Structure formats: C-alpha cells, structure tokens
Structure 1
C-alpha cells in the first residue's frame, strides 16, 4: 500500500470545470451540471485502492446524508488503465453498482482533471462552497486501514456542516492519505 498525502490545493481556489463521461449513465457531465445549491463534493477514488475500500461506506453515507441538503456529489477516477486495467470504465460501472454508488462516477481518461485539482491520491476529497470556491480539502477522518481508529467521517462532515450552515471552519485541515494516482508515462 502506498501512503501518498493530498497536495492541499489552496483554499479559495475556484473549482476547475470539466466535462467527463459518467460510467454509471454513459452521459457526459461538467462540474456545473453536478454542482449542488449549497456545496459540492468532488472525490477522487478508484476501484482497487485499499484506502478507498476502507472509507467507501462512510463516504457514501455522507453523500446520502447531505445531498438532500443541497450537496452535489461526484467521484472521479483518473488512473492509467493501461497499467491498471482494474480501474477501466467498464469495471468502474461494476464497482459503482456493487457498492451502490448512486451519484456520477466519472472517468478522467486524459488525467487533465486530476492535474487541474492537483489531486495526488485516492481517496482525495474536495469541498466547494456555493460560489465554487474551495472550502475544504483533505481527509475523511483519522481512520486508515490497519490503524484501528473507527471510521466517523468527522473531518468531512464538519466541513460540510460549516459550509451548508454558514459556520466557521477550523483552518487546520489534514491531508488525505492513500494510494497515489497512477499517472500515465509522460513522453518528453
């Protein structure tokens, strides 16, 4: 297992716009199409990462708890499928069905979206406010595979509550930790 931390994109950064294929529906969506009325959560995940498997149930609970309160939710996979075929769009569809991911699971084939977000790992969480400015980025909570800390989603839940209910948010935000994004080899 890799232990790659988030890059911690500066707070206040505008949400990058994009247009990606949703492996759940085969429709193409932009950030604007999927944003919420009060906040938007963008998760970088993939099918095979043990860190994603560890947090997935709690991340899905959070998505389901807050979507009715104006939270837009989407997940993006940006891994190189030539080297990691288990993350292919077809298997993303199966993974979403098996795990009851009922929001868009987008495929970033060019990896341009991951680069625009400065995403580094899976899972990596980005929360934008109603004006599409980055409000939170980092971890779900302190739980990691094998550290015996129970999943709570506290860090992400506190951030969502703060942005939706106009509460103050602690400026100290911890990076997520997970498997590195599997980048394509760049030929120069």
Structure 2
C-alpha cells in the first residue's frame, strides 16, 4: 500500500463549485445541492483503496450523525477508471448500495474537481463552514488498515463539534493518509 498524504490546503479557502453525477440516483448535483446549514463535508474516496474500505462504515455513521445537526456531505471519486475499472460509476453504485451511503457519491470523470480541491489521496477530507470557507482538512482519525485502531472519526468529529458549539476549529490538523488519486495520462 503506497501511503500518500493529503495536501494541506490553506484554511479559509473558498469551496470550489462542481456539478457531478450522483451514481446512486443518476442526477447531477452541485455544491449548493449538498451544502449544509452549519457546514459542508467533501470527501474524496474510491472503491478499491484499502484506506477507504477501512473507514467506509464510519463515513456513513458520521454523515448520519451530523446531517440532522445541519451538516451536508458528499463523496467524490476522481480516479482514472480506464486503468482502475473497480472505480467505474457502475461499481461506485454497487459500493454505495452495499455500504448504504446516505450521502451523494459523485463521479469526477474529468478529474477537474479533485484538482480544484487539491485532493491528493483517498480518503481526503475537506470541511467548510456555513460560508463555504475551509475550516478543516486532514485525517478522519488515527486509524489505518492494520494498526489496530478502530475508526471513530475523532479528528473530523472534533472539528464538526467545534462548529456546533461556536468554537474555533483547531488549526493543528494532521494530514490524511491513503492511496494516491489515480491520475489519468
């Protein structure tokens, strides 16, 4: 397993807009469609990465826990599907159904959205405030495949809880670690 760290995009960066197909429904969705009243979580994931497989159930729990509290969320898959057919849209739909993704699972076939977010790995997390300004980027928690730590979403949950409690999100953030995004060409 190659380990790639996320790029620590500058806090305060405005969320890039997008219009991508949700493989669960076949509908095009934009940032405004997934935006939450309190904040918006954008996750870059894929189907085949062991780091993503390790945290899939926690991603669903986290989205379900924070949706009623005013957080919108969406996952984006940006890998090259020609060389990584396990990440193709029809396979994305299967994974979303299997894991009961309650959030949109969006297909970034051109990879332009991943580039606009400076996404580097899967999983890679970007949390934006109510004004769509970046307040957290980095890891879900300290769990990794094989390290014996159960996924809890601790780091990301602490950031979301800070928003809910009108506290500043700590700027001390650890990068996510995962498989590199599989760029085309």
Same fold (TM over 0.5): yes
Tell whether the 8 Å contact from 1:42 to 1:75 is kept in structure 2 after alignment: yes
Find the aligned partners of 1:57 and 1:2 in 2 and give their Cα distance: 22
Indicate whether 1:141 and 2:141 are aligned: yes
SS of equivalent to 2:148: coil
Tell whether the 8 Å contact from 1:135 to 1:163 is kept in structure 2 after alignment: no
Tell whether the 8 Å contact from 1:39 to 1:164 is kept in structure 2 after alignment: no
Shift of 1:86: 0.4
Q: Which TM-score applies when normalising by structure 2?
A: 0.98
Q: Which position in structure 2 is the counterpart of 1:71? A: 71
1:13-37: per-residue Cα shift (whole Å, max 9, x none)?
Answer: 0000010000000000111111001
Shift of 1:163: 1.7
Shift of 1:169: 2.2
Find the aligned partners of 1:103 and 1:144 in 2 and give their Cα distance: 23
Q: Which TM-score applies when normalising by structure 1?
A: 0.97
**Structure 1: 4+ residue segments shifted above 3 A:** none
Shift of 1:164: 2.5
Find the aligned partners of 2:128 and 2:169 in 1 and give their Cα distance: 13
Shift of 1:47: 0.4
Q: Which position in structure 2 is the counterpart of 1:35? A: 35
Q: Which position in structure 2 is the counterpart of 1:26? A: 26
Q: Which position in structure 2 is the counterpart of 1:98? A: 98
**Aligned residue pair count:** 185
Shift of 1:150: 2.4
Shift of 1:82: 0.3
| 5+ residue gaps, structure 1 | none
| 5+ residue gaps, structure 2 | none
SS of equivalent to 2:113: helix
Find the aligned partners of 1:76 and 1:156 in 2 and give their Cα distance: 17
Find the aligned partners of 2:129 and 2:118 in 1 and give their Cα distance: 18
1:37-68: per-residue Cα shift (whole Å, max 9, x none)?
Answer: 11000000000000001111111111100000
1:126-163: per-residue Cα shift (whole Å, max 9, x none)?
Answer: 00000000010000001111111222211000001112
